[in-house]
Amino acid sequence: MPEDSAPTADWDDAASEAQDPAETLRPGVMAALLLVLPMYGQIFYYMKGLLPLWALSKAFPLLSLPMAGILLRHPSMPMYRQVILTFCWLMLAPSILAIHYFHQDFFVGLGAQVKLLPMLYYFSFLGLLLYLQPNLHEIASAFIISALATYAVLLVLWALVPESAYVGSYSSGQTPMFTSDNRGHRIHMPMYFGIIAIFYFFRRFQRSGHVGWLLGAIAGFVMTLGLVKTRAMVVGIVGVVIVRGFLGASKAQRFLLALTAPAAVIGMFSFGYLKSMFSTEAGSGLDVRWKTLARATSFLGTDSVRWIFGVGTISPTNTDSLFSYFDHFFFLGDITWLGVVFEFGIVGAILFVLYDLRGMLFYQTELKTRLDSDFLGSLADYLFYVLVISQLYPPTLTPGETAVILAIFTYVWQWLKQYDAEQASAL
């Protein structure tokens, strides 16, 4: 892109960070972003122990939806048709199919798809951005501040929460914030912003070579590894950083990575709680997942219609449940992609994949060529991370995370389009 047509420095987070923060960060905009980001990031979505915040988080997709009205003044936004189609299909198709397969009422069946409502964040968060008009440095700063707050809270909880607060056993479907199992004491902290920060710090290190950025990424990873202890997170972070390391490295660095990365990964997964990923012992839960997999496959059978379109599920609001229907602990999340196919079919599984792939491709083709931002790159890394961990953590659980990233990409695209129009009119 010619230098005279490049966006202003306010929109390049790498350039903006070299300026006086007081000149680039507006207090009102920052306060608004920091106030709503925990809701848009689904931080409290599964924290039933914090009942008021949990209830607000569950209702927030609908409470925030009026902000989407601002989009009526911007009818040509990209990706919105795909998001609408994906949301409508995934909400309606399994609810209709469950009428036939599980004999439940359509409106009761919709209750099973409440988990998909955060996909609407694409519209409401995009509307909020169009209203606030933050620059990219402000958006990036809000994300990084949220990440630092996440790690600060994590450390405080680790230091102050007494031993007695860690629960060793709990009822199915309930996950306390503090648990103790074969991995030791764990803090179930949502790490959306924290993981994005790790990818951002690593990108800044690759660009600048400053060791401080690398130490920041390592510190975030160590806290995630040692305190949160979610295997899917660790696998996803390592996978994305290795791929990103290869893509951003010189030829000599790539050769060194090719020699050391396999040994490092094997070594990491050969000790501690990570090696339990490959355990076949009863305590690992493999037997429960295997029974769920076998019964789900048996229920789908050889009927191609069931495999293609799915069979839906039983709503938690129903007096019946999948547990009683299959006479077994039956969590679709335990069997990840087969669980997605069971509920939404192969068509639904493809829609979920395209939901993240579209964002990655949009960044690569529409944004990166115009604005080489480390923050935008870290958001694209997170979309890749979602696909990496989907073998262990199904994409149905936190679809709002992707929706927020797609909204930011669309907002930046809209700003670039507006900038081009202003430049053209000035000629």
Per-residue pLDDT tens over the stretch 49-58: 889 999 999 9
- pTM here is 0.91
Are residues 396 and 64 in contact, defined by beta-carbon separation less than 8 angstroms? no
Confidence of residue 210 (pLDDT cuts 50, 70, 90): very high
Confidence of residue 318 (pLDDT cuts 50, 70, 90): low
Higher pLDDT, 9 or 233: 233
Q: Which two tokens stand for residue 118?
A: 């955060």
What pLDDT, on the 0 to 100 scale, is given for residue 108? 78
CA distances, 149 to each of 187, 192, 222, 402, 424 (Å)? 15, 12, 16, 21, 42
pLDDT tens digits, one per residue of 215-254: 999 999 999 999 999 888 998 999 999 898 888 777 776 7
Higher pLDDT, 23 or 378: 378
What pLDDT, on the 0 to 100 scale, is given for residue 35? 97
Average of per-residue pLDDT across 162-186: 81
Query: How many domains are there within the chain?
Result: 1
Least confident of 89-98, 312-321, 369-378: 312-321
Least confident of 33-37, 194-198, 421-425: 421-425
Higher pLDDT, 312 or 324: 312
pLDDT tens digits, one per residue of 85-126: 999 999 999 999 988 888 888 887 788 888 999 999 999 999
What gap in Å lies between CA 256 and CA 77, rounded to an integer?
43
pLDDT tens digits, one per residue of 401-423: 999 999 999 999 999 988 888 88
What gap in Å lies between CA 184 and CA 65, rounded to an integer?
41
Residue 213 domain boundaries: 3-426
Q: What values do phi and psi take at 203, rounded to 5?
A: -65, -40
**Residues contacting 51, CB < 8 A, separation 6+:** none
Least confident of 63-67, 253-257, 269-273: 269-273
Q: DSSP string of 171-227?
A: -TT---SEEEETTEEEE----HHHHHHHHHHHHHHHHH--HHHHHHHHHHHHHIIII
Confidence of residue 317 (pLDDT cuts 50, 70, 90): low
Confidence of residue 37 (pLDDT cuts 50, 70, 90): very high
Is the model's pLDDT at 165 over the cut of 50? yes
In the chain, the N- to C-terminal Cα span, in Å, equals 17
Mean pLDDT of the chain: 86
What pLDDT, on the 0 to 100 scale, is given for residue 22? 42
What pLDDT, on the 0 to 100 scale, is given for residue 258? 75
